[in-house]
Chain A
Amino acid sequence: MGNKQTIFTAQQLFHRYRDLAPQLVPLDYTNHPDVKLPYELIGSMPELKDNPFRQRIAEVFSEDGEGNMTLDDFLDMFSVLSEMAPRDLKAYYAFKIYDFNNDDFICKSDLEKTLNKLTRNELTEDEVRMVCEKVIDEADLDNDGRLSLEDFQHMIVRAPDFLSTFHIRI
């Protein structure tokens, strides 16, 4: 029964952000200080630390693409992963997260990486190859052997659990 989550405010998020490294982040943000938290700190948040895609998430949302986040990036991440974010936005970022090599297509190597992260390398190579082929076979509409953003969106908006699983609660 989908209850609306109380909206977490920027205040709360800011405190979460600051709690990660109180010595780095100033309390006063009026002058927009240029502070970045390294990926090690971001990835060790309890919300992310068990997520196999945490590094990708941090990379996608950080401005420098290396996982070091400013407060804005941080807010961005949690606004996309909040329950309120619209489906298309989520789909867009999910695509970016699963697109490991940043080439705007999910190709076989991306799929393999995703699968290996999901199963902790417990599938054999044949199985991995087969699953990847099946995925491409199912979702690739224009037949170029890789998933474009459109393919991905077309597939993901039909998924019953996408919205319920692709969010983080603080």
Chain B
Amino acid sequence: MPRDSLITSENDSEQDADLSLQEEHESKTHRTKRRDGDRQKKKRRNERRKGGTRAGEGEEDLQAISEKRERSKRKRAKSKQETSRRENNEEEEAQLTGGKGTKARKDIRNEKTRRMEKEEVREVDENVDKGKKKQGSTKKGEKKEDGGKQLVKEKARDIKKKKHKKAETSSEPETSEEDDDEEEDNDKDVVRPECLSPEELEKLKEAVDERKKLIQSLRGKPWPMKKKLVTLRESQEFVEKYEGALGKGKGRKLYAYKVLMTKKWMKFQRDFENFKTACIPWEMKIKEIESHFGSSVASYFIFLRWMYGINMILFGLTFGLVMVPEALMGRPYGSMPRKTVPRAEEASAMDFAVLWDFGGYAQYSVLFYGYYNNQRTVGWLKFRMPLSYFLVGVGTVAYSYMVVIRTMARNANESGVGDDNSFNFSWKMFTSWDYLIGNAETADNKFASITTSFKEAILEEQESHKDDNIHLTRFLRVLANFLVLCCLAGSGYLIYFVVRRSQKFALDGLENHTWWERNEVNMVMSLLGMFCPMLFDVISTLENYHPRVALQWQLGRIFALFLGNLYTFIIALMDEINLKRKEEKVVKFNITMWEASLYNGTVLENSTAPPVTIHPADVPRGPCWETMVGQEFVRLIISDTMTTYITLLIGDFLRAVLVRFLNYCWCWDLEAGFPSYSEFDVSGNVLGLIFNQGMIWMGSFYAPCLPALNVIRLHVSMYLQCWAVMCCNVPQERVFKASGSNNFYMAMLLVILFLSTLPAIYTIVSIPPSFDCGPFSGKNRMFDVIHETLESDFPPWFSKVFSYASNPGLVLPFILLMVLAIYYLQSTSKSYREANVELKKKLQMQNEENKRKNKRAALKAQMDLEEARKTAQEQQRNNNASVQDQEDDTDIHVSGQNPPPVGGRGSQMPSSRDSGSRTHDRGNHGPSGYLPGFARQTEPRMYRVPSLQRH
């Protein structure tokens, strides 16, 4: 054996010794805190085992001794190797039971031999330490016997965890990692497998295992960092040093390699995880906002990001499967009438005003339904354009449903547990402060909101059944609802009126009207959306609801308003669609006339002449109501976006600037007084987002560009709103928790999704498409494209099967089955929920019962104590009296120098101890006497009692 390797191993063992000391200490402190009884049990068991195994292992020990003399220090590592060969033959349980005892014994022997040879005190100490450590480790290891058996299997996982741990706790150990690796390599060269006994190996395994466990659980231990670091580093060294040796015989290298690779893999995974976190868009921005404004404001931005993600996917669908194929492979612009700007509009088709309205060139482009051609296949890929258009439309809706419902279910799972109210005040007390808050204003608001929440809770607690003029409240609430209904009806009528008027304008031709008249509909809708919520806010002060309830009412009302507006808009659109369709009929008739005349004309001139080529711009065409609908939605989105941004700039930014700078020269404090800074209105913003999304869903079938527009809008508003929040808003005065209302928003989104798909589906199913524009032109209904595909692209048997499957005789039972299944699932979930509630109630009852029992027990104990004390006092009094008598007697009879403390002690006794009988009292009295002279004095008294009684 080379000399330096010896030295290194000595160092190692020294380290081990240190470590063992420390670890033992730790384990002790830890255990004494937690499970005292457990430890004692284990100790006992351990000792029993030691005794049992010692005798059986004698032979092996003898064999081992000679080798041990040579390299006593590396003994453990070696024995490991040896056993690794034998391990296969032996039963593991035997090892387990046998291993523990021998180790301790061997160590003792080891110690002896060494002492004889070298007689170095230091080494002996070291060994003692080692032995101690091993004992400690066996103690610990015992409880993990199962884990020890499956060591090899678990190893990989353990290492994984360890690595994780290392990275998280601190980066320092990482630097030492490489050193450890080298050390490990050295060690492997040193280790000799022949000289290890199975017990040694087993023990080592356990030790390694236990170290790993320690490393895993280290983070959960309330130790100071220094101790953690030291323990961690040492345990890691230990594990790394001996882990490689645990592999079996020849497979050792492979095993070491495997360990290395797992390490590398873990590191890679961790890096990848970090990378993924870094890739989440706007994460840091949102976290920053969260730490300034609390979680509710952040929840809006998270919602916005979520929406952005959904829209990205919708955009990908429409862009990749509809817009790009048509633009690349479809017929180019100008090749046919539907793809050309008509002659009449050509002059103004490039004007900005027209483009802004999505007329002119924008209207005759891939952005809108009308541009698409009804060729069945497009380009050299034979891309089924109309089919793809239809399927993307359906897929958009289906995907949105899926995502929303899945998110809702997940949220419900997360929040389903926590409506337990048994620790209301305690939670308020200990968890209401948000340690994330790092901003003075937010902190102020948080203080205020905590105070109010406490006051509310106290009020609720004090008078849960208070009634201060319930009639007035009821009247006010009815009045408020009436007012709100009036508002809603008024706004609905206003929109209807405006839309009708705009149709009239449109018939006259838009050029004759002012800007306002042209944009009336959108402006009115945006303005209503802006001012009605404020009105509702004022009205809701009448109602005197609990703020959380009030917020829900407010949200519901705004929701109703938006929905009403949207639906009025849609109804008006329907009217317009019908108008257009009438117009279309006329145009269609005219076109046939026109074509006939054209044809006739040519026939008259020259019967063999080729058909007249007419520039597509000159061909008369129908109004194409689909494009019109798409345009309306796009305009709506644009104006909505503009209003949002402008409100943001004026209402937030300008206001903040004015308040900030006019404050220097104003007669009252603008910042604290009337205008102040604006708050970030989470609910309003979320609602705006939801409705915007509803419009996207509604309109995206007729305007494939809508998701793209929305992506841009969301992207911009992410940055703009982040900036606006950080620079000119103040945190809300009432900080609402975001978690509870999340599903409320989601539910609204779902409702909106449903309501917005309704009209779209209605138009798709029931209105025939225009005859001269769009991918479905020439068909009776839009969904005929499915039939067409089935008939021409699939084998005949498939369409046959499909036609059978779509037979009402099959569909109806299927639907029935589905309804039944839903009903069944619903009722089971309901019964589960009920059982859950019942269990919860029972648990609560039991808790209360326990509490009451405890209380009663405590009370009873107190009473008993009191009583005992009382009786004791009485007895004491009697006693005292008698003692007094005695003492008087003794005083008289025995000695005149009875010290006053005796009487004092006597009267003190009963209050501190409820000792019952006289004699006991006396017995107690005697030995506890603190004056040396007392014992002598009491004895005669005791002795004297009978004589007294005899008196």
A51's closest neighbor in chain B, by CB? B435
* B277 beta carbon closer than 8 Å to chain A: yes
* B41 beta carbon closer than 8 Å to chain A: no
Q: Which of A38-85 contact B (CB under 8 A)?
A: 46-47, 49-53, 63, 72-73, 75-76, 79, 81, 84-85
* Cβ-Cβ contact count across A and B, 8 Å cutoff: 165
**Contact (Cβ within 8 A) A81 B435:** yes
B436's partner among A76, A94, A165 (CB-CB below 8 A) is A165
Q: When each residue 238-278 of chain B gets 1 if its CB lies under 8 Å from chain A and 0 otherwise, what string results?
A: 00000000000000000000000000000000000110011
Q: When each residue 145-182 of chain B gets 1 if its CB lies under 8 Å from chain A and 0 otherwise, what string results?
A: 00000000000000000000001111110000000000
B278's closest neighbor in chain A, by CB? A6
**Contact (Cβ within 8 A) B433 A165:** yes
Name the residue among B225, B737, B855 with the largest chain A CB count within 10 angstroms.
Answer: B225
Give A89 to B430 CA distance when docked, in angstroms.
15
* B447 beta carbon closer than 8 Å to chain A: yes
Give A49 to B439 CA distance when docked, in angstroms.
8
**Contact (Cβ within 8 A) B171 A11:** yes
- On chain A, the residues within 8 Å of B737 by CB distance are 161
**Contact (Cβ within 8 A) A50 B440:** yes
- Tell me whether chain B's interface is mostly helix, strand or loop, or mixed: helix
Give A72 to B226 CA distance when docked, in angstroms.
6
**Contact (Cβ within 8 A) A72 B423:** no
**Contact (Cβ within 8 A) A131 B458:** yes
Number of residues of chain B lying within 8 A (CB) of chain A: 63
**Contact (Cβ within 8 A) A159 B427:** yes
Interchain nearest-CB distance for A137 vs B (Å): 8
**Contact (Cβ within 8 A) A4 B273:** yes
Give A162 to B431 CA distance when docked, in angstroms.
5
Give A168 to B287 CA distance when docked, in angstroms.
11
- On chain B, the residues within 8 Å of A4 by CB distance are 273, 277
**Contact (Cβ within 8 A) B454 A3:** no
- On chain B, the residues within 8 Å of A1 by CB distance are 302, 306
**Contact (Cβ within 8 A) B225 A167:** no
- On chain B, the residues within 8 Å of A164 by CB distance are 295
**Contact (Cβ within 8 A) B225 A46:** no
- On chain A, the residues within 8 Å of B429 by CB distance are 111, 114-115, 118, 131, 135
B430's partner among A49, A159, A160 (CB-CB below 8 A) is A159
Q: Which of B431-455 contact A (CB under 8 A)?
A: 431-440, 442-443, 447, 450-451, 454-455
B33's closest neighbor in chain A, by CB? A149
- On chain A, the residues within 8 Å of B430 by CB distance are 94, 98, 114, 152, 155-156, 159, 162
Name the residue among B167, B443, B451 with the largest chain A CB count within 10 angstroms.
Answer: B451
Q: When each residue 447-475 of chain B gets 1 if its CB lies under 8 Å from chain A and 0 otherwise, what string results?
A: 10011001101100100000000000000
* A86 beta carbon closer than 8 Å to chain B: yes
**Contact (Cβ within 8 A) A139 B423:** yes
A98's closest neighbor in chain B, by CB? B430
Interchain nearest-CB distance for B404 vs A (Å): 15
A77's closest neighbor in chain B, by CB? B225
**Contact (Cβ within 8 A) B224 A76:** yes
**Contact (Cβ within 8 A) B438 A47:** yes
Interchain nearest-CB distance for A54 vs B (Å): 10
* B35 beta carbon closer than 8 Å to chain A: no
**Contact (Cβ within 8 A) A3 B277:** yes
Interchain nearest-CB distance for A126 vs B (Å): 9
- On chain B, the residues within 8 Å of A76 by CB distance are 224-225, 228
* A19 beta carbon closer than 8 Å to chain B: no
- On chain A, the residues within 8 Å of B814 by CB distance are none
Name the residue among B283, B424, B429, B430 with the largest chain A CB count within 10 angstroms.
Answer: B430
* B739 beta carbon closer than 8 Å to chain A: yes
**Contact (Cβ within 8 A) A122 B283:** no
* B49 beta carbon closer than 8 Å to chain A: no
**Contact (Cβ within 8 A) A138 B438:** no
Name the residue among A98, A127, A141 with the largest chain B CB count within 10 angstroms.
Answer: A127
A10-B170, A86-B220, A89-B220 are known contacts. Are A139 and B426 too (CB-CB below 8 A)?
Answer: yes
Give A153 to B42 CA distance when docked, in angstroms.
27
**Contact (Cβ within 8 A) A141 B454:** no
- On chain A, the residues within 8 Å of B434 by CB distance are 165
B442's closest neighbor in chain A, by CB? A50
**Contact (Cβ within 8 A) B420 A158:** yes
* B221 beta carbon closer than 8 Å to chain A: yes
Give A120 to B438 CA distance when docked, in angstroms.
17
Give A166 to B423 CA distance when docked, in angstroms.
17
- On chain B, the residues within 8 Å of A139 by CB distance are 423, 426
Give A9 to B169 CA distance when docked, in angstroms.
8
- On chain B, the residues within 8 Å of A119 by CB distance are 447, 450-451, 454
B418's partner among A6, A85, A160, A167 (CB-CB below 8 A) is A160
* B280 beta carbon closer than 8 Å to chain A: yes
* B593 beta carbon closer than 8 Å to chain A: no
**Contact (Cβ within 8 A) B435 A165:** yes
Name the residue among B222, B418, B854 with the largest chain A CB count within 10 angstroms.
Answer: B222
A1's closest neighbor in chain B, by CB? B302
* B545 beta carbon closer than 8 Å to chain A: no
- On chain B, the residues within 8 Å of A123 by CB distance are 451, 454-455
Give A120 to B451 CA distance when docked, in angstroms.
8
- On chain A, the residues within 8 Å of B226 by CB distance are 72
A118-B450, A158-B420 are known contacts. Are A5 and B277 too (CB-CB below 8 A)?
Answer: yes
- On chain B, the residues within 8 Å of A161 by CB distance are 427, 431-432, 737, 739
Interchain nearest-CB distance for B624 vs A (Å): 43
**Contact (Cβ within 8 A) B426 A155:** yes
* A125 beta carbon closer than 8 Å to chain B: no
**Contact (Cβ within 8 A) A84 B447:** no
A114-B429, A155-B423, A160-B739 are known contacts. Are A89 and B277 too (CB-CB below 8 A)?
Answer: no
**Contact (Cβ within 8 A) B283 A3:** yes
- On chain B, the residues within 8 Å of A143 by CB distance are 851, 854-855, 858
Q: Which of A79-107 contact B (CB under 8 A)?
A: 79, 81, 84-86, 88-89, 92-94, 98
**Contact (Cβ within 8 A) B219 A118:** no
Give A27 to B113 CA distance when docked, in angstroms.
49
B286's closest neighbor in chain A, by CB? A3
**Contact (Cβ within 8 A) A167 B423:** no
- On chain A, the residues within 8 Å of B824 by CB distance are none
**Contact (Cβ within 8 A) B423 A10:** no
Q: When each residue 707-733 of chain B gets 1 if its CB lies under 8 Å from chain A and 0 otherwise, what string results?
A: 000000000000000000000000000
* A142 beta carbon closer than 8 Å to chain B: yes
**Contact (Cβ within 8 A) A169 B291:** yes
**Contact (Cβ within 8 A) B222 A72:** no
Interchain nearest-CB distance for B311 vs A (Å): 17
- On chain B, the residues within 8 Å of A122 by CB distance are 447, 451
- On chain A, the residues within 8 Å of B228 by CB distance are 76
Q: When each residue 144-158 of chain A gets 1 if its CB lies under 8 Å from chain B and 0 otherwise, what string results?
A: 000000001001101
* B425 beta carbon closer than 8 Å to chain A: yes
Interchain nearest-CB distance for A160 vs B (Å): 4
Give A11 to B429 CA distance when docked, in angstroms.
35
A4-B277, A72-B225, A118-B450 are known contacts. Are A89 and B433 too (CB-CB below 8 A)?
Answer: no
Interchain nearest-CB distance for B405 vs A (Å): 17
Between A and B, 17 residue pairs with Cβ closer than 8 Å are A1-B306, A3-B277, A10-B171, A10-B172, A50-B440, A51-B433, A51-B435, A118-B454, A119-B451, A120-B451, A131-B454, A131-B458, A141-B851, A158-B420, A161-B431, A164-B295, A168-B435
Given A162-B427, A169-B291, list of 11 further CB < 8 A pairs? A3-B280, A4-B277, A6-B274, A7-B167, A79-B169, A88-B220, A114-B430, A120-B447, A135-B429, A158-B423, A167-B435
Enumerate chain A interface residues (CB-CB to B < 8 A): 1, 3-7, 9-11, 46-47, 49-53, 63, 72-73, 75-76, 79, 81, 84-86, 88-89, 92-94, 98, 111, 114-115, 118-120, 122-123, 127, 130-131, 134-135, 138-139, 141-143, 152, 155-156, 158-162, 164-169
Enumerate chain B interface residues (CB-CB to A < 8 A): 167-172, 219-222, 224-226, 228-229, 273-274, 277-278, 280, 283, 287, 291, 295, 302, 306, 418, 420, 422-427, 429-440, 442-443, 447, 450-451, 454-455, 457-458, 461, 737, 739, 850-851, 854-855, 858
Q: Which 3 residue pairs across A and B have the least CB separation, nearest first? A: A50-B443, A76-B225, A10-B170
